[in-house]
Amino acid sequence: MRAILIPAKIGRYEVEGKLGQGAMGEVFRAHDPVLDRDVAVKRISAGLDADDTVRKRFEREARSAANLNHPNIITVYELGVEGEQLFMAMELLNGIDLKLALSQRKMTLEDKLDVTEQICEGLAFAHAHDVVHRDLKPANIHLLPGDKVKIMDFGLARMSGSDMTSTGTVMGTPHYMSPEQVRGARADSRSDVFSLGCVLYELLTGRKPFDAESMHAVLFKVLQEEPPPVLSLAPGLAPVLAQVVDKALAKDPAERFQSAGHMLGALRRARQAAAAGRGHERAADLDRTIAAPAARHPPKAVERTTSSRSGSRPAAADGSRRAVLIGLGVALVAVAGGTWALRAWVLSRPIATPPPPAVQSLAAAVIDSQVELARRRLDTGDYAEAARQAERALKLDPAHAEARAVADEAAAGLARIRTALAALRQAGSGTASAGAALELMKIDPRNAEAEAAATGAGASFRPRAEEARRLAEEARSAAEARGGARAPAFADGVALQRLGEQSLKAGQAVTAAQRFLEARARFERALGAR
């Protein structure tokens, strides 16, 4: 057996011992002689440092956490390189993770709700800074002595405008993944809300909301079934607290809390109501419609999701579930740290025997979700991703009219980008370049060449940022005037507009223009959804 070698130093940090090892990295206890403090140093496991995807994930974890200075998020001090090996120095945490606490400790209801509020506070701060965790679970929540929460492992985090996972691959932990993650959609703050709802459900009931003997069956439950009612497993709980869990676990992201901050406010109001003896009264703002997700005409085998909430067994047998998943061609592959990758594919050979009705219905649901996602990407100006999502739907159903319409519109958008990009390349420098960069940004706010040209334009780009600001304000006014202010996209636009103002005030004209133009796209989407 090969001996485990512990380095004497990593960077400037003097290693004192090994704290643990996962599939992706090793963590050491070390001392920082410069600042005279103990730290945790994490580095990529030997042999994985050459894997570009692993390196990017490791860098993303460091950068995402380093951009978030909050009491409930682990502090990253440094991302460094020693030779060819990346390492990360971060806050050394005492205590245990929530996964271990759930199995080893008795927590009072107040303790559980206090922990949940702290998770909400940390996530709300991350969401306000355009960072989505995407892999929230008890193992990534650390409890310090006194039950102070630290959210860890931002290795799957996505910062606004980027996505590290490859097309057709979804990353996450199945028991805590949101339905949109399972379908392959890009996760936003509402996906973290769903994961937090799973954690809160487990805290209150002692059981995972979606559990089964196989990961395929778990994913089917996440997509198609409601968990057993919280009150059936925790009958003494105030019903208004169960409402908070139910809303967080809505299959449709539009029916959930729209951010961790919204969930935090609802949880605090529910606790106050319970403390005042009004916990049995239902809160109207926490009600949601419970329905089977996606399918327009769900078959009897999978339509009884409402009955499952009253404790009855769902109608679909295990064999039918397996048939559905096999019919869709779904594979699970284990990756680092208990995270799983879900990859779906379409069989190229024609099938002589038509699939059973349950498979046909779930396939239709998948197509509908892909088209909906493509339409959303189109609304935000992400034409390339809209085209990819539409093509996925067309592979499943080449005659799908809406998918074809989205694909054509996305192609037209990409053509406009190519035209604007050609104009930018011919514009030279100075004022002409700044104007051409803004025209491209209007179509594709995060275009790398437009950003580079705008940055190179220096102070001459400031008036262009002001123009982007005006466009955002005009789009907001139009949405408000025509009843679009209630749409979730409108709230996103307001947040982006606020960030644009902050960037402009800080003299960051390029970033401000990007934010304003992204806000304009959200307002226009809200206008279309009125």
For residues 126 and 134, give the distance between their C-alpha atoms in angstroms, rounded to a whole number: 11
Q: Can you tell me the mean pLDDT for 340-357? A: 40
Average of per-residue pLDDT across 102-110: 91
User: Are both 396 and 280 inside the same structural domain?
Assistant: no
Residue 420 lies in a domain: no
| 126 against 167, higher pLDDT | 126
Percent of the chain with pLDDT over 70: 74
Of 31, 62, 91, the residue at which a domain comes to its end is 91
- Per-residue pLDDT at 67: 67
The length of the chain is 530
Query: In the listed set 304, 338, 372, which residue is the last one of a domain according to the structure?
Result: 338
Is the same domain home to 503 and 402?
no
Look at residue 390 and tell me whether its pLDDT is greater than 90: no
- Please answer whether residues 494 and 513 qualify as being in contact, where contact means their C-beta atoms are separated by less than 8 angstroms: no
Domain membership of residue 366 (yes or no) is yes
User: Could you confirm whether 135 is annotated as catalytic?
Assistant: yes
Q: How far apart are CA 15 and CA 6, in angstroms?
A: 8
Identify the weakest region by mean pLDDT among 13-22, 168-177, 257-266, 300-309. 300-309
Evaluate if residue 472 carries a pLDDT over 50: yes
Please check whether residue 416 lies inside any domain of the structure.
no
Q: What pLDDT digit, counting tens, does each position of 88-99 carry?
A: 888 898 999 999
Q: Are residues 239 and 315 in the same domain?
A: yes
Q: Supply the range of the domain harboring residue 367.
A: 347-410
Single pTM value for the model: 0.55
Q: Compute the distance between CA of residue 442 and CA of residue 423 in angstroms, rounded to an integer.
A: 14
- Whether residues 31 and 162 fall in one domain: no
Least Cα distance to 158 among 181, 188, 128 occurs for 188
The lowest-confidence range among 155-159, 194-198, 443-447, 524-528 is 155-159
pLDDT reported for residue 7: 83
Residue 503 in tokens: 């960037």
Can you give the pLDDT at residue 271? 94
Count of domains in the chain?
4
Catalytic one among 97, 135, 379, 492? 135
E strands, 323-469, where? 330-334, 340-344
Report pLDDT for 105.
86
Residue 465 banded pLDDT, cuts 50, 70, 90: very high
Average pLDDT for the chain:
77
| Tens-place pLDDT, residues 129-176 | 878 888 899 999 999 988 899 998 775 445 433 333 433 344 567 899
6-10, 155-159, 394-398, 440-444: which has the minimum mean pLDDT?
Answer: 155-159
The answer to whether residues 39 and 13 touch, using CB atoms and an 8 Å cutoff, is yes
| Segment among 77-86, 355-364, 503-512 with least mean pLDDT | 355-364
pLDDT value at residue 438: 92
Task: Give yes or no for residue 437 having a pLDDT over 80.
Answer: yes
Residues 407-415: what's their mean pLDDT? Answer: 92
Q: Which residues contact 41 (CB under 8 A, 6 or more apart)?
A: 10, 11, 13, 15, 27, 28, 29, 30, 87, 88, 89, 90
